[in-house]
Amino acid sequence: MSWASAYIGRADMHCWALVRTVYAEQCGVTLPEYAEVDYREMTAIAEAVSRDSRLPTWTQVFPFPGTEVPLDVVIMKGWLPCSDGKVRRGVIHAGIITRTGYIMHTDLNYSVVEVPLNHMTVRGKLVGCYRHKVVGG
């Protein structure tokens, strides 16, 4: 039984809260809260993780997919409603690698699911993968 089974099926958190909860419970690491976020604010989180990846805490995983390990954080793009009423594609979602080739993330109903990286719900949306130093950076 994988550590991820404790989270799959939960429906009480957004994607970044899932990543923060897993890191706190599995690694003893407190990740920044970035305030309470919803899908419209994930761009700020993705930018912060990307910015933090220039620090010794995070390293970007290359090539991805292919070299990911459990607990790597994945940033994804999706459709973002904008203040001008238009919908644009942007970086708005995060997930966490559970095993090679699989990601755990929240779906549109805030339910935690695990799917293969080539699943239709995430394929084509993957932007980058980042490894925290506690995972092995």
Domains along the chain with CATH numbers: 13-136 (3.90.1720.10)
Per-residue CA distances from 60 to 56, 67, 81, 83 (Å): 11, 11, 28, 31
Q: pLDDT digit of tens for each residue in the chain (137 aa)?
A: 589 999 999 998 888 889 999 999 999 998 877 655 454 455 555 666 656 555 567 788 888 889 999 999 998 887 766 667 777 677 778 899 999 999 999 987 779 999 999 999 898 999 889 898 888 75
Query: What digits encode the pLDDT tens for the residues 61-83?
Result: 888 889 999 999 998 887 766 66
| pLDDT on residue 53 | 53
The residue whose two tokens read 């459709």 is: 79
